[in-house]
Amino acid sequence: DAKTTQPTSMDCAEGRAANLPCNHSTISGNEYVYWYRQIHSQGPQYIIHGLKNNETNEMASLIITEDRKSSTLILPHATLRDTAVYYCIVDRGGSNYKLTFGKGTLLTVNP
């Protein structure tokens, strides 16, 4: 039973913002939203995570709706190197070793 739903693929023009949606309607109060990405032939890479407040770091911004049933990862100025599979993962904090990766969204950044 998947905890998250993501589009299979998305396209974005280089230099534009990429907005990747994720639905997690069954999220529990103690569960966080994590985002990882996997560039072709590489291991996954952590991007950002959040509980209920919006978060921003040097890579991206995470916008979580007030009811926490969905979120959006924003890459403000996408580059060709951002082409990757993006995974939205919902899991509890603390001993959060159980990262369960779904199929993710293949983001293709076009020149």
Partner 1 sequence: DAGVIQSPRHEVTEMGQEVTLRCKPISGHNSLFWYRQTMMRGLELLIYFNNNVPIDDSGMPEDRFSAKMPNASFSTLKIQPSEPRDSAVYFCASSLKVQYSYNEQFFGPGTRLTVL
Question: Where along the sequence are the contacts to partner 1 (CB under 8 A)?
Answer: 32, 34, 38, 41-46, 49, 87, 93-103
Looking at beta carbons only, is 49 or 108 nearer to partner 1?
A: 49
| Two structure tokens written together for 48 | 């950002």
User: SS3 for 70?
Assistant: strand
Minimum distance, C-beta of residue 13 to partner 1, in the bound complex (Å): 28
- Burial string for 58-96 (b: 16+ CB within 10 Å, else e) reads eebbbbbeeebebbbbbbeebeeebbbbbbbbbbeeeee
Minimum distance, C-beta of residue 84 to partner 1, in the bound complex (Å): 13
Q: Tell me 15's DSSP state.
A: T
Looking at beta carbons only, is 31 or 82 nearer to partner 1?
A: 31
Minimum distance, C-beta of residue 46 to partner 1, in the bound complex (Å): 4
